[in-house]
């Protein structure tokens, strides 16, 4: 028996009067994080909460923080840490981002990567397909 009233799963099934199962998506409400200035405040839900999870998972180094399990975070720091060629980055960034996100039950696909480099900055655009719909993401590494 859990001590928290919060549901453990993101998707639940409910039986209707006609004895058919209907899937409903549990709320994913979380605190809003402002990555540009480090402030926390307000609440976000739905696609905005999922986008926030994506940014946080990509920016968190996998295995570095004990608060997260081994599935959370990305290995982008290892990829970006050296004098890697653009060709190597273009091959490894999609793999690292996909592995950081695909374990989440809300996400079914991560694809359509477009990677560009200007100086030391690497810009990544990709599409996320989720239970809430498909949407584009842009990340600067």
Residues 51 and 56: their CA atoms lie apart, in Å, by 9
Q: How many CB atoms lie within 10 A of CB 136?
A: 11
pLDDT-derived band at 22 (thresholds 50, 70, 90) equals: low
What tens digit of pLDDT does each residue of 44-103 get?
A: 888 998 999 999 999 998 888 888 888 888 988 887 777 778 888 889 999 999 999 998
Residue of 140, 129, 119 whose CA lies nearest to 98: 129
What's the predicted TM-score (pTM) here?
A: 0.74
CATH topology of domain 29-140: Nuclear Transport Factor 2; Chain: A, (3.10.450)
């Amino acid at each position: 028996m859990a001590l928290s009233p919060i549901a453990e799963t993101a998707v639940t099934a409910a039986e209707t009067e006609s004895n058919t199962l209907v899937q409903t998506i549990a709320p994913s409400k979380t605190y809003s994080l402002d990555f540009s200035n480090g402030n926390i405040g307000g609440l976000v839900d739905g696609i905005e909460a999922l986008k926030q999870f994506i940014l946080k998972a990509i920016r968190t180094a996998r295995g570095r923080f004990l608060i997260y399990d081994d599935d959370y975070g990305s290995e982008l720091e290892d990829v970006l840490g050296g004098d890697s060629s653009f060709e190597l980055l273009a091959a490894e960034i999609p793999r690292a981002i996909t592995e950081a996100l695909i374990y989440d039950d809300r996400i079914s696909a991560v694809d359509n990567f477009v990677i560009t480099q200007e100086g030391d900055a690497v810009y990544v655009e990709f599409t996320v397909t989720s239970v809430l719909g498909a949407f584009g993401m842009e990340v600067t590494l």
